Amino acid sequence: MSDYKKTFNDYLRRSGIGAEIDSADTIIVGYSGGADSRFLLYMLCQYIKDNNCKALIKAAHMNHMIRGNEADRDEAFCMESAESMGIPCIVRKTDVPSIAKASLRGLEETARNERYSFFNELCRKYSGKTIVATAHNADDNLETVIFNMLRGTGIRGMSGIPPMRDGIFVRPILAFGGKEIRRVCKELGLEYVYDSTNSDTDYKRNYIRHNVIPVLNEIASSPHSAVLKMSENLRMDAEYLDKRSDEAYKSVMLKNGLKADAVALASLDDAILTRVICKMYGSSAGGEFLEHTHISAIVKLLRRKGTFSVSVPGNKFFLSNGTEAEFTSDIKKTRIQKNKSNKTYKIEANGKPFRMYNFSLTLSCENEKQTFLDDKAGNIYNLSIHKAMSFGKIKGSLFIRFRNDGDIFRYGGMNRKVKKIMSEKKIPADRRDRIPMLCDDEGIIWIPGFPLRDGMAPCDGDKSVYISCLYRN
C-alpha cells in the first residue's frame, strides 16, 4: 500500500470518518477542481472501491461568478473530470458578488454561506444517509488556528477544523499538507485547476498562507503536522470540558429552562462557567458565539453578585438580579429587574454590622470610628467612610436598601436624582445598584461617599449616631 493511501486510511479510522463513509448511502464531494478537491474525489473513489462500500459519490461544484471566464473554465473542468471518473457532477451558478453587495457582507463569507446552503439542499434531496466531504487539508487547519489565535480564541478555536461537523460534514484529507497533495496529484497524473484568488493577499487567510506560514516553515520542518496533532489533543480536552459544561448547564438551569440560578452559576469554575454562558446564549439566540469581551464582563459581574445587565450581540442582554440570570431581548425587562430588588434590611445602633457584597455598614452610639475585619478573608477593608447624624431626627425605623429607578436624595438644599449624582461622581454602572443606602421612613438619609440628608447633621447637645461604612474595592 502506498504511503499516501495508508495515511488516508489511518486518518479515516482515527477520526471516525471511515465509519461515517462505510454507513453512508450518498457522499457529496465539494468539488472546486483545485488540487485538494481533485485529490479528495480520487481518494474517496478508491476507498469506496477497495472497501466495497454501498455509498454513491456525487461531485458538487458551485460557480461563484467571481472570476468571470476563469470561473466558467473551472466549471467545465469539474464536469469533464468527474465524468471521466464515472461521477455525476451537480453544478450551481450563484452571483455571489451581487448577494454580498445586497447583504453588506464580504465576498468570502457570502461565498461560504451560499456554498453550504447548496450542500445542505443536496443533503435533503437524497434519501438515506447523506454526508458531505470537503477538501480541507492540514494547511487550512494551520491557517485556521493562526487566524483564531490572533482573535484571542479559547481552546475550541485552537482545536482548528474538526474532522466531522453536525453529523453531515466530513474532512477526509485533513492529515495531508498542500505540498504533499500536489506531489501525489503529479504522481497519479491528476490534473487540476488553479484559483487565481488564492494569490490575493487582501484576503486575511491568503495573507497568512503566503506571508506567515513560509516563516513557520523556516522554523519547523512540518508546522502543519505539528499543529494538527495539537488540534487533535486540544479537541479531546474541549470535548471533556463540553461534557462537564453540559452537566453544569443542566444543574444551574431553573425548571422553566429559560433562567439560571445566578448563585449556582457564579460558583462554577471559569472554564465551565464560560461554556455554560455560551450555551445559555446559544439556547436564547440560536448561536453559540460570544466574544471574549462579553463573556469576561458577564463573569466579572456574576462574581460580584447583585443586579446588572450586559448588552450582547443579537440585540440581547444578559440580566441578573442576584438570584436569577438569563439572556433576553426585552430591554424593558432590564429596568423591571432592577426594581425587583425592593428588599429592605433593618439596622440598629450598636447592632451587628450590615454586610453585603464588599460593604460593611455599622451604626454606633458609643464611638465614632471603628475598624472591622472581613470575616472571610481577615483583611481590613481598604476604605472607611464615617458620618455622624442626629439620633432624634430619625423618622421611624432605620433600614438599608439599594437603588431603585426614580430615587431622590435631598442634600445641599436640592432634591437630586440618585442616578444623576452617581453618574456625576463617575461610579461605575455595575456598582451603582450594589451601594447600600441608609434610609428611614421619610426616605434616604445617606449614601456612602455623599453628604447626609439635609437636617440630619447633629447640633450641639444632640445625641449622635455614628455611621461607619467600610468598603473594599
Residue 384 has what pLDDT? Answer: 57
Cα four-point dihedral sign 361, 367, 368, 371: negative
CA of 464: how far to CAs of 140, 352, 354, 431, 443, in Å? 74, 18, 19, 30, 19
C-alpha span between 293 and 330 (Å, rounded)? 22
C-alpha grid cell for residue 464?
A: 449622635
Question: How many Å apart are CA 33 and CA 30, to the nearest integer?
Answer: 9
Residue 256: other Cβ atoms inside 10 A: 8
Is the Cβ–Cβ distance between 217 and 177 less than 8 Å? no
Give the span between the Cα atoms of 329 and 331, in whole angstroms.
6
Are 471 and 359 within 8 A, CB to CB? Answer: yes
User: d(Cα 132, Cα 135) in Å, to the nearest integer?
Assistant: 10
Which amino acid makes up residue 413?
G
- d(CA 350, CA 53) in angstroms, rounded, equals 84
**What domains can be seen in the chain, in order of their start residue?**
3-233 (3.40.50.620), 253-339 (3.30.465.60), 345-471 (no CATH)
Beta-bridge partners for 320: 308, 325
What is the torsional sign of CA 164, 165, 171, 176?
negative
Contact between 164 and 127 under an 8 Å Cβ cutoff? The reply is no
Rounded CA separation 370/470 (Å): 10
Quote the CA–CA distance of 422 and 438 in Å, as a whole number. Answer: 16
The pair phi, psi for residue 406, each rounded to 5°, is 85, 0
Sequential pLDDT tens for the chain (473 residues): 689 999 999 999 999 999 999 999 999 999 999 999 999 999 999 999 999 999 999 999 999 998 889 999 999 999 999 999 999 999 999 999 999 989 888 888 899 999 999 999 999 999 899 999 999 999 999 999 998 888 777 888 899 999 999 999 999 999 999 999 999 999 999 999 987 766 665 567 788 888 898 999 899 889 999 999 999 999 999 999 999 999 999 999 998 778 999 999 999 999 999 999 999 998 887 665 677 788 888 999 998 877 888 888 877 889 998 889 999 887 555 554 444 456 788 888 787 888 776 677 888 875 544 444 333 333 333 455 778 888 889 998 889 888 888 889 999 999 999 999 998 888 877 678 878 889 998 999 999 889 999 999 988 878 888 888 876 54
Distance, in Å, from the CA atom of 298 to the CA atom of 281, rounded to the nearest integer, reads 12
Q: How far is CA 443 from CA 86, 306, 323, 385, 462, in A?
A: 85, 22, 26, 21, 21
As to burial, measured by CB atoms within 10 angstroms (0-12 exposed, 13-18 middle, 19+ buried), residue 252 is: buried
Report which DSSP code applies to 198.
Answer: G
